Copies of this chain bind each other. A is one copy, B any other.
Amino acid sequence: MKQYVIGIDIGGTNTVIGVVSRAGDVLASDSIKTRDYPSLDNYVTTLSSRIQALSDRCGVSGNIEGIGIGAPNGNYYRGTIELAPNLPWKGVTIPLAQLIEGRTGIPTHLTNDANAAAMGEMTYGVARGLRHFIMITLGTGVGSGIIVDGNLLYGSTGFAGELGHVIVDRTPQARLCGCGRHGCLETYCSATGIARTARERLSYSVEPSLLRRIEPDKITSRDIYDAAVEGDAMAISIFRETGIILGRALADMCVFSSPEAIILFGGLAKAGDFIRRYTEEAMNENMLNIFHGTVRLLVSGLKDADAAVLGASALGWEKVVFEQNNVSSV
C-alpha cells in the first residue's frame, strides 16, 4: 500500500488540493478558482495537472494510494456530482470521479462535503475510535455525515444523511428553504440562518444592540459572534435561540441511530460556547430517556485550514474498506 493520498475539496468558490500522509499531515496544498472553469473539460485538465505538479513537488509521484474528493451533492456510489446549484458546470450529473481517475490513473472516490468531513474526523480527528457518530457541518447550509458501525451511511441512493433538511418548524411561519420546502433545520442553524434570525430580531424589536451598527443585509454570523464576545445581549440571545433549535433537532436524530457522539464542524461551530452550551443543554433536555447520558456533543478538532482537504483525503484510503462491505456492488 502506498503512503500518500490526494484530498480535494470542491466548493463554489475554491477547489483546494492537498497531499496528505498516513499520519494526516498535509505536505503541500494548492488551489484553483472553481468559477474560472465554466468548461468541465478545462477544469478536469487543470485539476489533474495541478495534482501531478503537487505530487512532483513533494517527491511522492508514484506513491499515491488514491484521490478523495468532497463536493456539494457528491454521490459516493456513482462518483458523481448531482444537481449542485453552486457549481458552474452544466448538466444534471457530473461524473467527476471517473473523469479525474481517467486523467490521472489514480483510483478516485467522491462523496459529499459533509460525508468527507465525517471521514476526516474519524480518520484524523476527535472521532477516532468511534463506531457510531453524526457529523453536523454548520456552514452556509447545514450538512451531515452519519457513521454507523464505522462506515458512512449512504442509503439506497447514496444521498443518506441530509440532516440539514429535517423539518424543525411545521407552523405556517416556518422559513422557506433553498430546497423549496419550509422549516428545514438549515434555515435556522446555518451561518446564513443565524444571520436571518438577527435581521428578524432587529426589525421586530427596538432592543438596543451592537448589531444595529451594521446594515441588516450585511450582517454575518461572524458579526453576531463578535457582538456576543462583547457581551451584546441580543447577540447572545440569538445564539441561545439557535442552540435550542439545533439541540432539539440533535436529540431527535439520536432516536434514529443512537450515536456515541454528535460532532459540530464548520463556521458556526467556531462560535464555541456561545453555540455549544445552549445546544448541549437543549439536546440533553429533549433526549429520549433510554438515551440519557449516552451521547456526547463534541466540536471538531481538525485544524481549520486543513479540515476540508483532510476530510476529502480520508476517502483516498477508503477503497479497500468499502470493497469489503460490498458497497461497490450497489
List residues of chain A with CB under 8 Å of any chain B CB.
73, 82-83, 131-132, 146, 148-149, 151, 153-163, 165-171, 179-181, 248, 252-253, 255-260, 286, 288-291, 294, 325, 327, 330
Contact = CB atoms under 8 A, between A and B. Distances in A.
B155 A289 contact: no
Contacts of A169: 170
A156 B132 contact: yes
A258 B154 contact: yes
Contact of A155 (B179, B259, B330): B259
A291 B155 CA distance: 11
Pick the 6 closest A-B CB pairs, nearest first. Answer: A155-B258, A160-B258, A162-B255, A132-B156, A156-B260, A157-B258
30 contacts: A82-B290, A83-B290, A131-B156, A132-B156, A146-B257, A153-B257, A155-B258, A156-B258, A157-B291, A157-B294, A158-B258, A159-B290, A160-B256, A160-B258, A161-B256, A161-B258, A162-B255, A162-B288, A162-B290, A163-B256, A166-B255, A167-B252, A168-B170, A170-B248, A171-B171, A179-B288, A179-B289, A180-B289, A181-B288, A256-B257
A163 B255 contact: yes
A289 B158 CA distance: 14
Given A146-B256, A148-B148, A181-B288, 7 more contacts: A131-B330, A148-B153, A155-B258, A156-B259, A166-B255, A167-B252, A180-B289
B291 A248 contact: no
Nearest to A158: B258
Nearest to A261: B156
